Chains A and B, each alone.
Chain A
């Protein structure tokens, strides 16, 4: 894959969740695929993530959720919309029950990656999900 123009994304934890390893692994997978990753780390509120998205001018946000606090991911999507950042796609991964996956997608989360998702699929989804996927091959 050739990346002629860099895609920039945020990877972040949300709320008080401290289980960072999933986010760190995904951040490294994306970087290895040539995507620029801004890793925000722990204790990020939806407001802080939106601020960072504006400041960093990112195209997508990946949230790692291991603490049943996925409602804050929904808040994040709503807040992006309020701030005219609807084009910023939100992806989410973690131990999220199936019915919640459906709910999250209904509420505008572009994709949810449950445990055991393949790294290849995660990278492809980020690539396809940003700027119409013109770098996807």
Chain B
């Protein structure tokens, strides 16, 4: 069995003061709340702010998702809600699109119109907890528009709403795919980011390593990729959108995938805090200490949830949760024991939330900040991962940054090679996974768990509803807003589309309509799948524009 970190550092049997002889407390660690923030951002840690304990929701109709959110609250979800979109909304087509019909409400919330958001948020406040809406990059603009529109409709002060609804275009390379071209995704992401930053809306954007790591990347690569993404996006907001670094630094949050190699996971979180702080200060010239804070959320690792002996996953989840908490996270949501089988069942969701509550209330882990600081082993691991991540980060910068490294295929190859290496390590028995390649049970004797059903007819119901509802909208008003959006989308990448997207959303333009209109303005097909035609007469607009 291998005794090395997932990025290949060979672990010794014992660590002594000699291993950390080079560590300077003030320079490398600092007290909690003090630069370089290795030990965390808050002097009092969880005593001053408990982490947000949440579960990701999203399945079936918007009404179903609303019920699940309320159920999670009753299960003790605190601090924020988190909803993931279905593949249809992620791709910005509509449930009544021929491909949407088959997958609406499957694998997430079918949020293709403002109506769906209103239904999902029925009787749930927008303020007082964080609103996190996940999905892919392009619908970032729509998710933000929904929040702005609902706040306006309810009379909520927009400045009181916080959370995250934006997702970086890089996730598209790491499994969180959508069908929009990278340049469009990047433009829409920057529009949304600029909009929230200029309007003091406390919405963060996920610029995260989680998808990269869940696709198979190792811990050092994940940190290198995370820093590279941050540098690229923040650089664009500063250099292209003209924002101050200290403003742009309010945007990102990181979502770490936390696995079972406990000490390495804790070290990884500590290392990233230090590395971001240095990047912020030394490269971007941060003036405000807060700009050196990178909000760290944790998702315990779905890829470690095994199909075999699924109850073992409760144990894995507990170890990972404890690692995330000791590493110092702001929010945590768990994978579930049934992740390898289906969408989370009510029982699995409850077990995951309870895992957090047990760690919060029963272990004492939340009483003291950065409890592993000073451990010869953990400090060594923190230094080692930092060193290894800087090497990879350096290579990415040699390409000219994250976008260039992706264009060159460097990141993708690194990820696939690593995923295959991990697969083979299990195949060869170099890494043991209980129930998978160690202490395996015959299939007939394996534990049974409840399974959350996904029903095909639910998708059709969602599709049919949208098809009929679309006809009931104020079509002249909607068309006017769509035409405005089309005109604005022809004004170049630097023209911010958020105001016209918000207007269109308020007029109940759907995801497919909004994105299709923007696509046409950019000379793309209305439908990314080339199946349906644009229902609006925008061709006249195009020729009128050409004639002018």
> A95 CA to B433 CA in the complex, in Å?
17
> A20 CA to B176 CA in the complex, in Å?
9
The interface size bin for chain A is 20 to 34
Which of A28, A67, A120 has the most chain B CB within a 10 Å cutoff?
Answer: A67
> A17 CA to B99 CA in the complex, in Å?
11
Indicate if the CB atoms of A15 and B423 lie closer than 8 Å. Answer: no
Indicate if the CB atoms of A69 and B102 lie closer than 8 Å. Answer: yes
Indicate if the CB atoms of A116 and B529 lie closer than 8 Å. Answer: no
**Which of chain B's residues have a CB closer than 8 A to the CB of A124?**
none
Option from A68, A72, A119 in Cβ contact (under 8 Å) with B454:
A68
Distance in angstroms from A105 CB to nearest chain B CB is 13
**Which of chain A's residues have a CB closer than 8 A to the CB of B456?**
71
Contact A24 to B103, CB < 8 A, known contacts A95-B307, A116-B307: no
Contact A16 to B416, CB < 8 A, known contacts A43-B529, A69-B102, A115-B307: no
Closest residue on chain A to residue B309 by CB atoms: A116
Indicate if the CB atoms of A69 and B103 lie closer than 8 Å. Answer: yes
Indicate if the CB atoms of A15 and B215 lie closer than 8 Å. Answer: no
Indicate if the CB atoms of A28 and B107 lie closer than 8 Å. Answer: no
Option from B103, B307, B424 in Cβ contact (under 8 Å) with A67:
B103
Q: Is B295 an interface residue (CB 8 A)?
A: no
Q: Is A45 an interface residue (CB 8 A)?
A: yes
> A114 CA to B308 CA in the complex, in Å?
9
Q: Is B340 an interface residue (CB 8 A)?
A: yes
Q: Can you list, as one digit per residue, whether each of A97-108 has a CB less than 8 Å from chain B (1) or not (0)?
A: 111000000000
Indicate if the CB atoms of A95 and B339 lie closer than 8 Å. Answer: yes
Option from B103, B175, B424 in Cβ contact (under 8 Å) with A16:
B103
Q: Is B343 an interface residue (CB 8 A)?
A: yes
Distance in angstroms from B326 CB to nearest chain A CB is 28
Contact A119 to B427, CB < 8 A, known contacts A18-B177, A19-B175: yes
> A42 CA to B107 CA in the complex, in Å?
16
Q: Is A118 an interface residue (CB 8 A)?
A: yes
Contact A69 to B307, CB < 8 A, known contacts A97-B341, A97-B451: no
Distance in angstroms from B195 CB to nearest chain A CB is 26
| Chain A residues packing against B (C-beta within 8 Å) | 15-21, 24-25, 28, 42-43, 45, 67-69, 71-72, 95-99, 114-116, 118-120
What are 28 A-B contacts defined by CB distance under 8 Å? A15-B102, A16-B87, A16-B103, A18-B136, A18-B175, A21-B216, A21-B415, A21-B419, A25-B216, A25-B423, A42-B177, A43-B179, A43-B529, A67-B87, A67-B107, A68-B342, A68-B343, A68-B454, A69-B106, A72-B102, A97-B451, A99-B451, A114-B307, A116-B435, A116-B436, A119-B424, A119-B427, A120-B427
| Chain B residues packing against A (C-beta within 8 Å) | 87-88, 90-91, 99, 102-103, 106-107, 136, 175-179, 215-216, 306-308, 339-343, 415-416, 419-420, 423-424, 427, 433, 435-437, 451, 454, 456, 529
Extra A-B contacts (11), CB below 8 Å, given A25-B216, A99-B451, A116-B433: A15-B99, A18-B87, A18-B175, A18-B178, A28-B420, A42-B177, A43-B529, A68-B107, A95-B339, A97-B341, A98-B451
